[in-house]
Amino acid sequence: MNVVEYISGILKGVKSLLIGMKVTGSYFFRPWKIVTQQYPENRKKDVKWFYFLPLWKAHGKDTPAERKQIVMLERFKGELIMPHNEKNEHKCTGCGICEMNCPNGTIEIISIQLTTEDGKKKRAIDKHIYRMGMCTFCGLCVKTCPSDALAFTNTFEHAVFNRTKLNKVLNKEGSTLMKGVE
């Protein structure tokens, strides 16, 4: 190592350290760049935000009200649901593919035999039981469902006081199979 390399090495090192310090230092003086969201407060839009510094208010473009409201993404797998249309019809035929595909045994389908008008026997669901406490939200049930009867919503606040409250029946009371779905 000659002297030129030694000194240029020092200067290069100092320069790269200063670049790093510039990044953190600039964040320190720009508190409106903070990305942390305050969870219970950001559920509602009208809640009084705890302003840490007046700088936050002063910065026009990225106003606190906009960053405050929590935005859950469309595709977030929060809870399994069975979509029903306005006539209280769902698409589940009770085939049991979701039950077979579930790695945790989260889903249980209780089916009944119905007799159609022309005298044929047909399987339909009595209860589509979803035990959320056992669900890992892998999405295999939604993916494998042949009639797209299942979906995920992005709700995420599922805390309850009793584990049994996590067992849900997905098909609504008195719902029937949608016409045209076999």
Partner 1 sequence: MAFSFSIYDFTSFTQWIDKSLYAAMPPFWALIVEMVIIGIVFLGFYALLGLFLVYAERKICAFMQCRVGPNRVGPFGFIQTIADLIKLLLKELIFIKNADKILFNVAPFIVIIVSFLAIAAIPFAKGLHAMDFNIGVFYIMAVSSMGVIGVLLAGWSSNNKYSLIGAMRSGAQIVSYELSVGLSLITIVVLAGSMQLSTIVEGQRDLWFIFKGHIPAIIAFIVFLIASTAETNRGPFDLAEAESELTAGFHTEYSGIRFAFFFLAEYMNMFLVASIAATVFWGGWMPLHINGFTGFNHVMDFIPPIFWFFGKSFFIMWIMMWFKWTFPRLRIDQLLTLEWKYLLPINLVNVLLMALIVLMGWHF
Please report how close the Cβ of residue 137 comes to partner 1 at its closest, in angstroms.
27
The enclosing H or E element of 115 equals strand 107-115
30 vs 172, beta carbon nearer partner 1: 30
In whole angstroms, give the CA distance from residue 102 to residue 167: 15
- Residue 69 near partner 1 by CB under 8 A: no
From the list 28-36, 57-65, 133-141, 143-151, the region that binds partner 1 by CB under 8 A is 28-36
Instruction: Among 4, 11, 35, 58, indicate the residue that binds partner 1 (CB under 8 A).
Output: 35
The enclosing H or E element of 167 equals strand 167-169
Q: Where are the alpha helices (DSSP H) in 29-157?
A: 54-58, 64-68, 97-101, 140-144
- Residue 55 near partner 1 by CB under 8 A: no
- Residue 52 near partner 1 by CB under 8 A: yes
In whole angstroms, give the CA distance from residue 59 to residue 146: 51
21 vs 112, beta carbon nearer partner 1: 21
- Residue 21 near partner 1 by CB under 8 A: yes
Instruction: Among 5, 8, 31, 103, indicate the residue that binds partner 1 (CB under 8 A).
Output: 31
In 10 A of CB 6, how many CB atoms?
9
Instruction: Among 20, 54, 60, 180, indicate the residue that binds partner 1 (CB under 8 A).
Output: 20
From the list 19-27, 65-73, 115-123, 146-154, the region that binds partner 1 by CB under 8 A is 19-27
List b or e across 14-36, with b for residues whose CB sees 16 or more CB atoms inside 10 angstroms.
Answer: eeeeeeeeeeeeeeeeeebeeee
